[in-house]
Amino acid sequence: MGTNEKSPQYHQMTELSVLDLSPIVEGGSAGQALNNSLDLARHAERLGYTRYWVAEHHNMRGIASAATSVLIGHIAGGTEHIRVGAGGIMLPNHAPLMVAEQFGTLAALYPGRIDLGLGRAPGTDGVTAQALRRTLHSDPNKFPQDVLELKAYFQEAKEGQRVCAVPGVGEEVPLYILGSSLFGAQLAAILGLPFAFASHFAPAMMMQAINIYRDEFDPSDQLDAPYVMLGYNICAADTEAEAKYLRTSSLQAFLNLRFGNPGPLPPPREGFDETLTPDQQQVLSQVSSASAVGTLEQVRDEVARFIETTRADELIVVGQIFDHGARIHSYELAKQACEGL
């Protein structure tokens, strides 16, 4: 669709949020990345984004959000009203009680502003997972039981309950199930929780997962109807050429990760497309269905098509851009592009 053609119209307004990996750029530092995250969160709050989530990854030289709950406290303390949370905490890495205490503390400090998204992936490689847990005896297949245990710690204590999360008891921190497969969709539906699908990097099963979640959803005390959140890549700039150029940083990082060589976020590269092998082109094609790159008008058209297809309740926008000022500008244009969609 060209920029002069009419965008599709659809059912409802879609919320817009931020998913931040707190990128460490080549030549930069973790401290710089963390301060940039706070700065971006303040801009997101001013622009009217619904929530600001950070993700748990370990042993990644290009990601500064490993201590996720600490960073959430930093961002919540430096903002006023935007919701702040984890997108997500990788529950197999942690005892549910510890997560409940951390997020109970955050909820006590910042009432009504803390979200807790939960995933069952390790967020790292096997060797690092063992370093995190000291043992790999924790079973990702116990993820549903761990979610239920965690949920119980946020409820009012029952008579005779010997272990309580303090802070945490009675906080009722809202939970979200994250996933990139059908498993998360089914669990979110059974538990009656919001479902956030990682379509920004693994869109293959997106529609099937959404349909399963909506078809099988069982209302809960937290949520009475299905709520779908979808990860979505946006790289917006004043010109299409500039946006495509800026986007090459995240594409390089994605290839480096997929081919076993993760590192700091590289600077953008001129002529990047001409350097790609067929295998690399195929890998990058996987994420294009959940991406918008270009001017405000081009982003609006792409987002409109995506929402018309998915009927998403919320898009959580990923924007891995090397230059911090360009990244902020991209989120400004993304918010303008999505107004009224």
pLDDT in tens, 151-161: 999 999 888 88
Closest CA to 207 of 310, 135, 339: 310
pLDDT value of residue 150: 96
Cα 48 to Cα 35: distance, rounded to the nearest angstrom:
20
What is the maximal distance between C-alpha atoms in the chain?
66
Which segments in the chain show pLDDT lower than 70?
1-12, 122-140
Cβ-based neighbours of 36, under 8 Å, separated by 6 or more: 22, 324, 327
Q: Which of 80, 52, 39 is nearest to 325 (CA)?
A: 39
Residue 137 is predicted with a pLDDT of 59
How far apart, in whole angstroms, are the C-alpha atoms of residue 311 and residue 323?
A: 32
What's the pLDDT at 160?
85
Please tell me whether residue 187 adopts helix, strand or coil conformation: helix
pLDDT at residue number 159: 86
CB-hemisphere CA count at 13 Å for 189? 15
CA–CA gap between residue 62 and residue 89 (Å, rounded): 18
Residue 8's pLDDT is 37
Asked if omega into 77 is within 30° of 0 (cis), the reply is no
Using DSSP bridges, classify how beta strands 228-236 and 314-318 pair: parallel, antiparallel or unpaired: parallel
DSSP 106-156: HHHHSTT-EEEEEE-S-SS-HHHHHHHHSSS-S-GGGHHHHHHHHHHHTSP
Beta-strand ranges (E) seen in 124-263 are 175-179, 195-197, 228-236
Predicted local distance difference test score (pLDDT) of residue 164 = 93
Domain spans of the chain, in order of start: 15-338
What topology does CATH give the domain 15-338? TIM Barrel (3.20.20)
CA angle 194, 195, 199 (to 5 degrees): 150
- Classify 214 as helix, strand or coil: helix
Strand partners, 79: none
| 8 A C-beta contact, residue 123 and residue 93 | yes
